[in-house]
Structure 1
Amino acid sequence: MSTGIWILIVIIAAILGAVGGFFMARRTMESYLKKNPPISEDMMRSMMTSMGQKPSQKKLNQMMAQMKAQSNNK
């Protein structure tokens, strides 16, 4: 085969690999963030305490529900 065909094959393989890698990494990150949310109740409790608020369990549950609803809307 001529050199031009080999170059074309390499370019097409690189493009397909980049596109496939992007979508695989995106799916992996989405599943990771779903299993491990970036903010937990303990983190939120300490954040509210540092701001001078006394967090009740009801308020923490409401804030966590709001965060889950917001992440599901995206």
Structure 2
Amino acid sequence: MDLWVVILVGVLALIAGVALGFFIARQYMMSYLKKNPPINEQMLRTMMMQMGQKPSQKKVNQMMKAMNNRIK
């Protein structure tokens, strides 16, 4: 009987560790992406120019605002 208890506690500890690790990693990545967004205005201007569009400041601001709203 003692072996089953040890195995059960081990499995429960493993499951709890995996769940806790997932949520900690998720929270860390969300805060990292909020502080360091994957795209900035210069990158957006370059992409628009490559697509053949003339990037006005108004368009760039609109797209940055849309991306920031989507992140939140």
Matched, 1:60 2:40: no
Shift of 1:70: 2.0
Counterpart in the other structure of 1:51: 51
**Could you list the runs of 5+ residues in structure 1 that have no partner in the other structure?**
none
| CA–CA separation in structure 2 for the residues paired with 1:70 and 1:9 | 41
Q: TM-score, normalised by structure 2?
A: 0.90
Which shifted more, 1-10 or 36-45? 1-10
Which consecutive aligned stretches of 4+ in structure 1 deviate over 6 angstroms post-superposition? none
- The share of aligned pairs that are identical, in percent, is 56
Counterpart in the other structure of 1:22: 22
Using CA pairs under 8 Å that are at least 6 residues apart, name the structure with larger relative contact order, 1 or 2. 2
| CA–CA separation in structure 2 for the residues paired with 1:44 and 1:56 | 11
Q: CA RMSD in A?
A: 1.3
Written as runs of structure 1 = structure 2, the 5 A alignment for 1:29-40 is: 29-40=29-40
CA deviations 1:20-73 (Å, max 9, x no partner) are 00100110111111111111111110001111111112211111011111222x
| CA–CA separation in structure 2 for the residues paired with 1:9 and 1:43 | 51
| CA–CA separation in structure 2 for the residues paired with 1:30 and 1:70 | 13
Count of aligned positions = 72
| CA–CA separation in structure 1 for the residues paired with 2:48 and 2:70 | 20
